[in-house]
Amino acid sequence: MNNVEFSFELIAQDDRARLGQIHTPRGIIDTPSFMPVGTQGTVKGIFTDDIIKTNSQIILGNTYHLLLRPGIDILKKFEGLHNFMNWQKPILTDSGGYQIMSLSNLNKIDVKLGAIFRSHIDGQKIILSPEKSIQVQKIINSDIVMVLDECPPLTDNKKILSNAIKTSTKWAKRSKIEFGINKSKAIFGIAQGGLYKDLREESIEKLLDIGFDGYAMGGLAVGEKQADMFQILNETVENLPKDKPRYLMGVGTPSDILGAVNEGIDMFDCVMPTRSGRTGLAFTWEGKLNLKNSKFKDDKHPLDQNCDIRHLNKYSKSYLHHLIKSDEMLASMIISINNIYFYQQFMREIRINIKNGTFKNFYKKYIKYFD
C-alpha cells in the first residue's frame, strides 16, 4: 500500500473511445478495463495468482453475497476481502442493488429504510439501507464503492423507471454522505432510466449534482437488444464528465464491450468468461468455440498458442473436449483462465488501437466476430 490518491487520467481519445488510467493505492487500472467477477470472494475456479497472470488489474466483489456469506464479522476479522481471498490488487464492489432485484426474495423497496428482502440462502429477512451497503463495502475494504441503487428489471414503463430514479437519487446522496471523505478510495454513482434518453439524462444530472469519483450506467444488460443498449449509450454517455471513469455494469460479450467502448465507456465487468468456461465455451482469436462439439475430438491445437499461463498452450482442444465429456473440473479451470486471459488481451488490443488512432478498424473487424 502507498499514499497514491484515487484519480483518473484520460490519456488519449479516438473519436469517443477513451484510453485512460485509474490510479489507486493498490495499483494502476488501464482503461478500457475488464473486471473479472469474484462474487463470493473467488473468481470461480481460478487461483488469484493466475488472475494476476491474465493481466487483470482489478476484480469485482458482490456486497449482497459477501454480506450473507461469510458475513461482516469474518470480513472484519480479516480487515477486508483482499486478505480474506488473497488478492492484493484493487477491488470494486457493487452495492447489492442488482442482486436484490435478481436473486433475493425482494419484499419491498422502502425509500427510507432501504431494500427489504429475504436471503436466497436461508430466507433470513434483511434490510439493506444505503448506509448499510456503504458500511459493508467499507468492511470489505473495497477500493471502488458503488452507491445503493434501485435497479428495476427491463421495462418500458416510464413511471417505474422514473420512480427508480427518484429512489436511486435519494439513496445515492445518502451513500455519498456515508462514504464520507477518503482520497485513497472512490465512490461511483449509478445512473438509471432504462432505454429512455430523457430519463437517463435526468438521472445523470442528479448524480452530477451530488458529485462522484466515477459514474456507472446501471439497469442495462438486463435483457434489452444490444442495438438498443448501444443506442442509449450513444445518446447519453457524453453527458458524463470527461475527467471521470465511466462504468457499464454487468457487460458483457466481447462485442458488447467493443460497442460500448465505441460510445465512451471505460470499465466493464461480467461473469461471462468464467461462466462460459464452466460450460465448455472458449473465447479465442478464432472466435467463440463450443468445445463440447465433437469436431474438436481430435484437434491437437491449443486454444491459444501464445498463452503459457499454467502451460495452457500445452493442452489441446482434443484433451479439453475429453475433459468436458468426462465432467472433469480441470476443463472449467483451463477454459476459465483462457477466457479471462482472452478478455484481457482483447482489452489490451482495444487500448493499443485507441492509442494508435486505429480503433474504428478494430471495431469493424470484431464487432460481429464473436456472435
Q: Is residue 16 a contact residue for a second copy (CB under 8 A)?
A: no
| Beta carbon of residue 337, minimum distance to a second copy (angstroms, whole number) | 10
| Beta carbon of residue 202, minimum distance to a second copy (angstroms, whole number) | 39
| Beta carbon of residue 44, minimum distance to a second copy (angstroms, whole number) | 6
304 is catalytic: no
| Strands (DSSP E) found in the chain | 7-14, 17-24, 27-31, 33-36, 59-62, 91-94, 105-110, 114-118, 125-128, 144-146, 186-191, 214-217, 246-248, 267-270, 281-284, 287-290
- Judge contact between 101 and 92, C-beta under 8 A: no
Angle subtended at Cα 84 by Cα 81 and Cα 86, rounded to the nearest 5 degrees: 95
Q: Is residue 119 a contact residue for a second copy (CB under 8 A)?
A: no
Rule CB under 8 A: choose which of 20, 41, 193, 252 binds a second copy. 41
Residues 6+ apart with CB under 8 A from 259: 226, 229, 230, 233, 363, 367
Q: Is residue 311 a contact residue for a second copy (CB under 8 A)?
A: yes
Active-site residue, selected from the candidate residues 94, 143, 213, 256: 94
Q: Is residue 1 a contact residue for a second copy (CB under 8 A)?
A: no
Q: What are the backbone angles phi and psi of residue 95, rounded to the nearest 5°?
A: -95, -10
Q: What is the footprint of a second copy within residues 143-162 (CB under 8 A)?
A: none
Stretch that binds a second copy, among 130-138, 280-288, 325-333, 345-353 (CB under 8 A): 325-333
Q: Is residue 89 a contact residue for a second copy (CB under 8 A)?
A: no
Q: Is residue 40 a contact residue for a second copy (CB under 8 A)?
A: yes
Q: Using DSSP bridges, classify how beta strands 59-62 and 91-94 pair: parallel, antiparallel or unpaired.
A: parallel
Give Cα separations from 17 to 77, 254, 283, 365 (angstroms).
42, 15, 23, 16
Closest CA to 19 of 350, 341, 314: 350
Rule CB under 8 A: choose which of 11, 15, 74, 243 binds a second copy. 74
Rule CB under 8 A: choose which of 42, 63, 95, 353 binds a second copy. 42
Rule CB under 8 A: choose which of 9, 15, 69, 158 binds a second copy. 69
94 is catalytic: yes
Report DSSP letters for 285-353, one per residue.
Answer: TTEEEETTSGGGTT---BS-TT--GGGGGGSBHHHHHHHHHTT-HHHHHHHHHHHHHHHHHHHHHHHHH
Contacts with a second copy, 269-298, as mask; x by CB under 8 A: ----------------------------xx
| Beta carbon of residue 308, minimum distance to a second copy (angstroms, whole number) | 11
Binding stretches for a second copy (CB under 8 A): 40-42, 44-49, 69-70, 73-74, 77-78, 84-86, 297-298, 300, 310-311, 314-316, 318-319, 322-323, 325-326, 328-330, 332-333
Question: Would you please indicate which residues are annotated as catalytic (active-site) residues?
Answer: 94, 269
